[in-house]
Amino acid sequence: MSSQEAMSDEQIAAMCVGEPRELNSTITLAEYDPEWPKLFEREADRIRGALGERVLVLEHVGSTSVPGLCAKPIIDILLEVPDSADEAAYVPALEAAGYRLVIREPDWEKHRCFKGPDTNVNLHVYSPGNGETPRYRFFRERLRTHPEELALYADTKRELAARVWKYVQHYADAKTAVIDEVIGRARAEQYDGHAEEYAEHAEKSVTNALYDRPAVLDLAGDVAAKRVLDAGCAAGHLSALLAARGADVLGVDSSAAMIAIARRKSGDAARFEVADLTRPLDLPAASIDVVTASLVLHYLEDWGPVLAEFRRVLVPGGVLVFSVHHPGEEWRWFGRENYFELELLEDEFPPGHHVRFYRRPLSWTFQAVRDAGFAVDRLAEPMPVPEAEAADPKWAANLRTKPRFLYFRAISPASPGPRPS
pLDDT at position 185: 79
pLDDT at position 348: 66
Residues constituting the chain: 421
Structure letter (DSSP) for residue 226: -
- Overall pTM surpassing 0.75 (yes/no): no
CA–CA distance, 411 with 421 (Å, rounded to integer): 23
Residue extent(s) of CATH 3.40.50.150 domains in the chain = 195-411
Residue extent(s) of CATH 3.30.460.10 domains in the chain = 9-191
Q: Does domain 195-411 have CATH number 3.40.50.150?
A: yes
pLDDT at position 342: 82
pLDDT at position 253: 94
Nearest to 33 by CA among 74, 4, 79: 74
DSSP H helix total and E strand total for the chain:
17, 14
Order of all β-strands in the sheet with 227-231: 271-274, 248-253, 227-231, 288-294, 314-325, 405-411, 375-380
pLDDT at position 413: 84
pLDDT at position 421: 47
Residues of the chain with pLDDT under 70: 1-5, 191, 193, 348-354, 415-421
Full DSSP string of 233-300: -TTSHHHHHHHHTT-EEEEEES-HHHHHHHHHHHTTSSEEEE--TTS--SS-TT-EEEEEEES-GGG-
User: What's the fold here for domain 9-191?
Assistant: Beta Polymerase; domain 2 (3.30.460)
User: With left for phi above 0 and alpha for psi between -120 and 50, is residue 223 left, alpha or beta?
Assistant: alpha
Q: Judge whether 301 and 342 are in contact, CB under 8 Å.
A: yes
Cis bond before residue 134 (omega within 30° of 0):
no
pLDDT at position 3: 52
pLDDT at position 279: 86
**Which H or E run contains 409?**
strand 405-411
Helix (H, G, I), strand (E, B) or coil at 312: helix
